[in-house]
Amino acid sequence: MSRYVINGGKPLSGEVSIRGAKNASYKQIIATLLTNKTCQLTNVPQISDVKITESIAKCLGANIIQTGEHSLEIKTPKISNSIVPMGVGEKSRSSFMFAAPLLVRTGTATVPIPGGDKLGARPLDRLFDCYRMMNIRVDESPEKISFNTDKIKPVHYTFSKPSHTVTEVLIMTATAACGETIIDNAAREPEIDDLIDMLNSMGASIQRDSKNLGRIIIQGCSSLNGTNHQVISDRNETVTFACAALATKGSINILRIDPKIISKFLDTVETMGAKINRGKDEVTVTWHQPLKAIDIETEPEPGFMTDWQALFTIVLTQAVGCSSIIEKIHPSRFQHIKNLETMNAKIKYFNPEISNSKSYYHFNPESDSPNYFHGVKIYGPIKLIANNFTISDLRAGASITLAAITAEGKSVIDGVEYIERGYEKLAERLCSLGAQIEYIKT
């Protein structure tokens, strides 16, 4: 088990470049299996989630060559296996996304039940509903899901609630349906648009309705070509460094990021009193006065992203007054709070008073539990106290790392393998900004 030993309490300052997006790169590796032609991907981060996805792709017939530190050449002349291996597949929630290229290329796919972070159940009912409409048979068991079809049919499908990953799976699958597929109330994240750009460069015909961004129209085609595509930069990583600057009362210039894809976050911290300088492909985030408390609710794009809330909590512990966060995307995503409480954070759980939880929350009601809280109040500013932790979740792990950098004294964080799922050389890059982190890798 690897660990960070962190001596915190110093403002971070300097310049950092953003890597390719975790939530785009591994999905685009999967998308290369839609064709038997060669695909080149650049700006691919060196993180464990990407490595797991590469491993699965190789098991299914992909030939993958690393052509540079952040570049891959992928060619899958033939799908050699339509069953995603259980062991490696269970480690990542990406496993079920392989259903799309397997169905397109072979008409059959067997995938393990999705794994990933401990955020509550990850329902796939919206995928199953649409797949059945597309003439794809779905058979579930406690360990695996099997899909079969003799012909993928085009559909007009409306999501009851937007789903980021399922939207991407449906787009990939619909590229092989003969005719026009329309997806309404589709998710609007920039990573989806980056996947659409990649697929269009491969010969697909996919577009968002300019008057209704929640509508995606796909014209099916007989086959796709190869491509040379650069992965979009990681907005979650960008927000991590921005939160590190604000929590430690520092200033960081963040390069290789389009500020427009994190505009909701930047607008939020600007309202709190942070100084923001937006460039074409960079942004500078500076603490220059005490931050004001604020209330937020996580929402699908273009709202405040759920992946940001654990990181943002650290900033709120340093803001003046009582802030609140309501988590509307996942039923259970406050695992980081208990750790922060051991660091002297003053936080109170609550459940919002609402008239209709089914329409208010974006997770399925059956995924909820009476012991889950969906809101927290954070009181600040508070002096965080260093402590020792063992983590079991990517975003919670990143948030505790930021908390340890903010706190005075020595903290020890075990289990940083979870952080490496989504961040490339996080400790090294934080150290370049003035953090004191000893990375002990085992």
For 323-377, what is each residue's pLDDT tens digit? 999 999 999 999 899 999 999 999 999 999 999 988 999 988 888 999 999 999 9
Residue pair 290/381 in contact by the 8 Å Cβ criterion: yes
pLDDT score of 97: 95
Judged by average pLDDT, the poorest of 44-53, 93-102, 121-130, 245-254 is 121-130
Is residue 174 a contact partner of residue 310, using CB atoms and an 8 Å limit? Answer: no
Q: What is the CATH number of domain 3-19+233-440?
A: 3.65.10.10
Q: Give 100's Cβ-side CA count (13 Å radius).
A: 27
What is the edge-to-edge ordering of all strands in the sheet holding 275-278?
A: 13-17, 251-255, 282-286, 275-278
**Interatomic CA distance for residues 201 and 377, integer angstroms:** 46
Q: What is the pLDDT of residue 44?
A: 98
Q: Where are the domains of the chain?
A: 3-19+233-440, 22-230
Q: Which of the listed CATH numbers 2.40.128.20, 3.40.50.300, 3.90.950.10, 3.65.10.10 matches domain 22-230? A: 3.65.10.10
Residue 165: what pLDDT?
93
Q: What mean pLDDT value characterizes the chain?
A: 94
The predicted pLDDT at position 115 comes to: 57
Is the pLDDT assigned to residue 435 strictly greater than 90?
yes
CA atoms within 13 A on the CB side of 202: 32
Phi, psi of 17 (to 5 degrees): -105, 145
Closest alpha carbon to 230 in 204, 259, 195: 195
pLDDT single digits (tens) 382-397: 999 999 999 988 888 9
In this prediction the pTM is: 0.94
Beta strands in 82-177 (DSSP E): 108-112, 137-140, 144-148, 156-158
Nearest partner of 143 among 122, 113, 170, judged by Cα: 113
* pLDDT at residue 123, rounded to an integer: 62
pLDDT digits (tens, 9 = 90+) for 287-326: 999 999 999 999 999 999 999 999 999 999 999 999 999 9
pLDDT above 50 for 160? yes
For 422-437, give one letter per residue: b (16+ CB within 10 A) or e: bbbebbebbeebbbeb
Which H/E stretch holds residue 347? strand 346-350
**Over 80: is that where the pLDDT of 121 sits?**
no
pLDDT reading at 89 higher than 90: no
Residue 120 has pLDDT above 50, yes or no: no
Res 118: pLDDT: 43
The pLDDT, as a whole number, for residue 174 is 98
pLDDT at 116 > cutoff 70: no
pLDDT in tens, 21-55: 999 999 999 999 999 999 999 999 999 999 999 99
pLDDT of 198 above 90: yes
